[in-house]
Structure 1
Amino acid sequence: MPTGAQLLVGSLKVHGVDTIFGVPGIHNLSIYDALVDERAIRVVTTRDERGAGHMADGYARATGRPGVCLTVPGPGVTNALTAIGEAYADSSPVLLLASQLASDTVAMDREDFHQLRDADGVLRSVTQWGTRPGRAQDIGSAVDEAFRRFSLCRPRPCYLDLPMDLLGATVEARADPVRAPAPGRTAPSWPEVERAVGLLATARRPLLVVGGGAWKAGRSVCALVEQLAIPVMMTSSGKGVVPEDHPLSLGDGWMAHQLGREALEGADVILAVGVRFGPLTTSWWTRTIGGRLIHVDLDATEIGKQTPAAIGIVGDSAEVVEALVTEARQRQVAKPAPWLDVVAVRERRRAAIRERAPDAVATLEGLRRVLPDDALVFNDINGIACWGAGAFVCRRPRTFHYPIGFGCLGFALPAAIGAKLARPEVPVVVLSGDGGFLFSGHELATAVKEKAAVAIVVFNDNAYGTIKADQHHRYPARPIGGELRSPDFVRYAEAFGAIGYRVESVHDVPGAVAMALGHDRPTLIEAPCPQALPPWIETEP
């Protein structure tokens, strides 16, 4: 008879899992032993559990399928929390397999090895759902429930807290386990679709706002944009759902409160699809959105949460938008007279950010020229990448990843490694600062070992540069805490077996990245980082 660990591995395989990122330890060795016999699942050993979590997140972002990471209890779980928190904030489907102490010890505060008090409470803070199976035979159904939620709900992380005695116990095998088709998501309410199209038909100044929840709906969103001739603004997570150089695209909504704000504030009807109306879109909720809002989201709790909605439609974004397109065609809704010179607004905005951060914008525009549209760019918060929302034009969704929700440093490198292992044929680029890179730079060892040929740019200003600039703006001539002493990053990369070289000007970065994409192992490019006031600081009244 199989063990609980073998049941776990078999259930993961049934749900299409082909890669697990993790760190072995005494509490999860039974899982690793089960993986020895399952050659269909690749095991990637990372240098800490946070790296495993970010790699699983990067895998999920690159494929649209859940990423899986495996930890020991206690410090393994707490190490992974930052990565799982980032995945939660950005709605990325990650399954955390947290091995646990024996069942009879878990509920007692024995201060046992790796014991974490209230592990469930800790894990619930960064996940949508999780469970600790009470019996070994329940492990398979727990996996099924996690994947059911990934399929039907907002795709946020889930966890399984797996006592080591259950993993080692024998159970009856599942009889030829076959993935049961998940029940379909609730169909959108057609009366609400009709009401939404009726409202859009009466709009004189309509606007479409698209967020990360619409990333699978690109084709139907573009059809709706062209059907109604409606200007579209995207959030950072929604970049590329509509190509950002489309004639009706205003581009990314980052800094919408500063540049091009007339679109958000001037619209009389706003159709928002997969949007949370978070701080950056609304300038920390200080901007007035006076138009009537049609809010579409898979998560019913998001509708009207930040901004009151005249019409709320709960459902899958692609299905809802397809229904809107169908209804608009049947009604033969007339296109409104243009109320906004979209291209002029977009170009005025880009001209303004070029003026504020000319070197950063030139670098990002140069990268766009050398990278194919399907290239994946993973960013940490740094003096160059923070301008990417406005300056890096995306033509496909889920190709520009910025840790906008949780805002953690150290995301970019491990997430990029996970993405590259998932899609080795696609160019993958990391844009990091020297401060953020060293949060997870040791994962270069994983990239070299796994032959993940990512191109890594480290913009080095020997500082937490964006915070230093912000501090100087708020507290002039009172610097403290922002200066760093960074290593020679070329030698650092070479010590791990990666390729390393340095460019003298940030304008040389695009050419260096183009060269790095031809290498068969990771390449680190160290570049200077010009100073500019970060984009979240308003410079206009």
Structure 2
Amino acid sequence: MTSSQDNSEAGPPTVSRAIARFISSQGVKRVYTLPGSHVKPICSELDLAGVRIISARDERSAVHMAHADADLTGILGVAIVTAGPGMTNAITSIASAFLARTPLLVLSARVPDPQAGMGALEEVPQADLVRPVSRHVREISDARHVLQGLHLAVSSAMGNDGPAGPAYVDFAPNLLKMRIADWHLRQNWFEPVKRSVRAPGQDSIDGAARLLRQSRRPLVIGGRGALGSGDLLERFLEASGSLYLDTRESRGALSPDNANSVPAQRGRAMAEADLIITLGRRLDFELAFGSPAIFSEGARFLRIGRNIEELSENRPGDVQLCADVDAALRALLKSDFKATDPDRGWREGLIATNAEKSRATSEKMANLPVEADGRMHPLTLIGHINRHVDEDTICIVDGGDILSHARVGLRAYRYLDLGPFGCLGSGVPYAIAASLAFPEDRTVAIVGDGAFGFSAIEIETAVRCGARALFIVANNDAWNIERQDQLIKYADQELGSTLSPCRYDLLARSLGAHGERVDREGDLAGALERGLANLPAVIDVAVTRNAISSDTRSGLANVPPLHAVQAWDDAERAMMDGPAAAPQ
């Protein structure tokens, strides 16, 4: 053999070669994995087919990397994990992709069929374990089922028959080396699987236009469906006079500089709008489940999305527009939806108040004093990071306390965080995948020290694979949301909420990356510049644990029974109780 191309065409076609050809045909450039004997034949054929194999240090990280690759590129993410603990390690990351509705294909192999049920090495019911957090699960034992099984799995992962999310397929390991019949290969299995286009019906467009005409205070809330529709979304906001709120899954759909965006007035906008327009967005815990205790009791909802979760979960829309968001916006822009009596004062007031609050936050971030413990405030760190963020920067945030501060202060145009599953440890693998997918762009990951501990070893992966990302560890030696809550509720107990002082910069150096420790704000700018010049790099920044984050103030750690936020929980209870009975 003289080349991998020669080798890939040699010998009879095997099931593994057919799998590799199918994955390559979907436009997949990178597959994330960990070496394992059960799945080696697939990885070998993928490499021969020109698909890059990225080997992580933990299966959780491999699936996280595939998740980030899919979210950032819009192409199916693919991870391959080996049997037994390889597969069970991956379940946490699969669950994270499930809640995020990320199109993901996870492949594995199981114990050989002749040994099944006999106490075989690594034998667990893999399909049963992963089924609750997958959109589609398939076990394949026959070569005739391989390509049609993969086609169906990818179609399900992309959301053709419901919400998008992870699809899981595993194979009998002996099957992977078997020959696959030529007539299977000649069938039309190697065309890219596309997500079906959903156009809105005219009746629903008419109903949506009617709601818009009647509305005085319209508010658009972005979701996954808004990504990629930026120009249409911008035109719709201007034409309808709507204000806009992004959410973690839609960040980047609209520039943070857009005048219609009012993130600093989120609570007031939700409470006072009379029409809520959701764009491919579930009404989940981050949106108070659509509760009339948080949104105006008389508000009407126009819900735009592809599936039932986005159209009627928790609160059905007064009009439900089952369509792709861009198709729906395009159709609405051609209709007559101009409001007859818009409340321009409300809109202009919120825009002005949002701008003033944003200016005040920026000024505060630039002038925060050193805390009593001698460390800088997390917002001081974020202010310095903002100086290196532009439209070509991908920002990743992972952690508890630092995520809360980042929601207040970070300016990001392209963004990922740990998602609705709250999966600590995703930030480092996300950033590695982002850097590999977009090597010409800047990738900056801001990670809490607790979260960094979950996947710090993947810095070695970044070095080995050439992922030129900047990893900034916000180091307060604590699980700080839990620590602050513990100080309030259990003053005489310290139950694991503080961490030993660690030098993550030295760990990074031991793994082959550039590493620096920053203890004073005066040294931060230079350290960030040097880090960006010597990627991959870890900048370990000492921040105070005394700063109270907004998530701590909101009572997130209270785990209220009705809502994620204590104030929302109180409002819901008050609504349920009703007005006090009048005296007799």
C-alpha distance in 2 between matches for 1:181 and 1:261: 41
Q: Which moved more, 1:307-316 or 1:279-288?
A: 279-288
Shift of 1:178: 3.9
Match of 1:364 in 2: 382
Match of 1:278 in 2: 284
Shift of 1:517: 2.4
- Report the 3-state secondary structure (helix = DSSP H, G, I; strand = E; otherwise coil) of the residue aligned with 1:416: helix
On the 8 A contact 2:289/2:314 being kept in 1, the answer is: no
Cα 1:500/1:223, change in 2 over 3 Å: same
Match of 1:533 in 2: 548
TM-score normalised by L of structure 1: 0.90
Larger relative contact order (CA 8 Å, sep ≥ 6)? 1
- Out of 118, 143, 161, the residue aligned to residue 136 of structure 1 is 143
* Bigger radius of gyration: 2
C-alpha distance in 2 between matches for 1:269 and 1:215: 21
Matches within 5 A, 1:416-431: 416-431=431-446
Shift of 1:345: 3.3
- Report the 3-state secondary structure (helix = DSSP H, G, I; strand = E; otherwise coil) of the residue aligned with 1:384: helix
Q: Which moved more, 1:336-345 or 1:74-83?
A: 336-345
C-alpha distance in 2 between matches for 1:6 and 1:130: 21
| Structure 1 residues 133-158: Cα deviation after superposition (integer angstroms, max 9, x where no partner) | 24123211222222223443533111
- 2:154 is aligned with 1:147: yes
On the 8 A contact 1:350/1:390 being kept in 2, the answer is: no
Shift of 1:534: 2.9
Segments of 5+ residues of structure 1 without an aligned counterpart are 253-258
- Out of 107, 112, 121, the residue aligned to residue 113 of structure 1 is 121
- Report the 3-state secondary structure (helix = DSSP H, G, I; strand = E; otherwise coil) of the residue aligned with 1:112: coil
C-alpha distance in 1 between matches for 2:221 and 2:507: 43
Shift of 1:288: 4.0
C-alpha distance in 2 between matches for 1:454 and 1:514: 13
Shift of 1:356: 9.6
Shift of 1:68: 0.9
Match of 2:373 in 1: none
RMSD of the TM alignment (CA)? 2.5
C-alpha distance in 1 between matches for 2:42 and 2:221: 44
Q: Which moved more, 1:357-366 or 1:262-271?
A: 357-366
Cα 1:185/1:366, change in 2 over 3 Å: same
C-alpha distance in 1 between matches for 2:192 and 2:312: 34
Match of 1:214 in 2: 226
One-letter identity of the residue aligned with 1:518:
A
One-letter identity of the residue aligned with 2:387:
R
On the 8 A contact 1:248/1:342 being kept in 2, the answer is: no
- Report the 3-state secondary structure (helix = DSSP H, G, I; strand = E; otherwise coil) of the residue aligned with 1:58: helix
One-letter identity of the residue aligned with 1:287:
I
- 2:338 is aligned with 1:309: no
Segments of 5+ residues of structure 2 without an aligned counterpart are 1-11, 369-376, 556-565, 568-584
Matches within 5 A, 1:127-526: 127-151=134-158, 152=160, 153-173=162-182, 174-175=185-186, 178-179=190-191, 182=194, 184-251=196-263, 260-282=266-288, 287-290=294-297, 291-328=299-336, 336-338=342-344, 339-340=346-347, 341-347=349-355, 349-350=357-358, 359-394=377-412, 396=413, 399-505=414-520, 509=524, 512-519=527-534, 521-526=535-540
On the 8 A contact 1:58/1:415 being kept in 2, the answer is: yes
| Structure 1 residues 101-121: Cα deviation after superposition (integer angstroms, max 9, x where no partner) | 123444x2x22111112x212
TM-score normalised by L of structure 2: 0.84
| Structure 1 residues 215-250: Cα deviation after superposition (integer angstroms, max 9, x where no partner) | 122221111001112111111222232222221111
- Report the 3-state secondary structure (helix = DSSP H, G, I; strand = E; otherwise coil) of the residue aligned with 2:35: coil
Match of 1:35 in 2: 46
On the 8 A contact 2:65/2:433 being kept in 1, the answer is: yes
On the 8 A contact 2:222/2:278 being kept in 1, the answer is: yes
On the 8 A contact 1:228/1:334 being kept in 2, the answer is: no
